[in-house]
Amino acid sequence: MTKAEKRPVLTDVALAAGVSVATASKALNGRNHVNKNTRQRVLDAAEKLKFSPNPFAQALNFPVTGTIGVLTADLSSRFVLPILMGVEEAFGAGSTSVIISDARKDLVRERFLLQTLIAKRVDGIIVLGDDANARPSLSEHVPVPVVYAYTPSVLATDCSFTPDNAMGATLAIDHLVARGRRKIAMINGEPRFEAAQERSSAAHAALQSHGLGFVSGEVLYGDWSESWGRQGVRALLNARLDFDGIFCGSDQIARGVVDALREEGRSVPHDVGVVGFDDWELFSTTSRPPLTTIDMNLEHMGRAVAGELAVAIAGVTRPGLHKLPVRLVPRESTAGLDGSLANREDAAGGPLKA
């Protein structure tokens, strides 16, 4: 690494262009009242010197600093990362810096990091959770706009974004029914998660709208694991239930489900159609067969949240819980008996991914 020879400052540019710093500043910032030629001379000089303005000096003159903070509950979470990527994409390439701080599920640490972000004068904060259960608001303690992503704030006056779980469940059930399945069960994750509850109720409602109910009478709850997916299938089998479709609370569960079905000699999709949730490609595309599933569009959510924060920083707040649409990604686990994949209408506007 080359030792930092002092960087050119505005004075150097002005000197090189033969104007005052004031004029140089105006020229560089596209202010009016600068002669076209003068401006060009300044621009050339800046170019030649590879001048770039010191953002700290600029920040000193403006109310906004050009940095935003992302406070994550758990950076390692499968849901956090895609959202972070969307945020980064929306901000990172521009003039806004994204500072990350990871609370590692520690509320004390979260408070501390929040204070640190504030001390660093971020213009706004994105609070990024890893489950759908509403969380305490932080906004009281914060002098800048806050937007909550994935995990909403309990306060309706805060601005939160979550995926539309109900829509996902409805899409899943409608898809199974459209594929001719009538005897449908649901193997869900942990009931203490609101996401699980929302998916259950919406699935139930969707079934009813088709004049159907769960073959098992009620939703099976377990944890979010493959292992539970396998157990769930065995439970259905042991109960001697006749079923031809299973909607799973997550792709991990779904993978366990298709593995168990295969091991028990049931063909997917021939005997049983399976729909997952999350479109976690690690599972959805490597499963045998690949999984039809619900894509929550998390990266898009990241961009939406970033946009909303930008708007909020500009002074326009749009409080409330914003549920973002999800889409169904059809794959082989619900293919028609002729092996055809689901048709376009099912895809809810999205292209096939795998």
Partner DNA sequence: CTGAAAGCGCTAACAA
Partner DNA sequence: TTGTTAGCGCTTTCAG
In the complex, the residues that contact its own copies under the rule CB under 8 A are 1-2, 4-5, 7, 52-57, 59-60, 63, 65, 67, 75-76, 81-82, 84-85, 88-89, 92-93, 97-102, 109, 112-113, 116, 118-121, 139-140, 142-146, 158, 225-227, 282, 286, 312, 317
- Binder to DNA among 40, 44, 54, 105 (CB under 7 A)? 54
Q: How many residues bind DNA (CB under 7 A)?
A: 30
Q: Is 48 in the site for DNA (CB under 7 A)?
A: no
Distance separating alpha carbons of residues 85 and 125, to the nearest angstrom: 15
| CB environment 132-149: b (16+ within 10 A), e (fewer) | bebbebbbeebebbbbbb
176-215: which residues touch DNA (CB under 7 A)?
none
Task: State the binding partner of 282 from its own copies, DNA, none, CB within 5 to 8 A by kind.
Answer: its own copies
List, as one string, the DSSP characters of 242-302.
--SEEEESSHHHHHHHHHHHHHTT--TTTT-EEE-SB--HHHHTTSSSPPBEEE--HHHHH
246-305: which residues touch DNA (CB under 7 A)?
none
Work out how close the CB of 114 gets to DNA at its nearest, in angstroms, rounded to a whole number. 19
Closest CA to 50 of 24, 13, 93, 19: 13
Which residue number, 36 or 50, has a Cβ lying nearer to its own copies?
A: 50
Q: Is 19 in the site for DNA (CB under 7 A)?
A: yes
Q: Which residues contact 233 (CB under 8 A, 6 or more apart)?
A: 187, 246, 256, 257, 260, 261, 264
DSSP state, 98? E
Per CB under 7 A, residues contacting DNA are 9-11, 18-23, 25-26, 28-29, 31-39, 51, 53-54, 57-58, 60-62
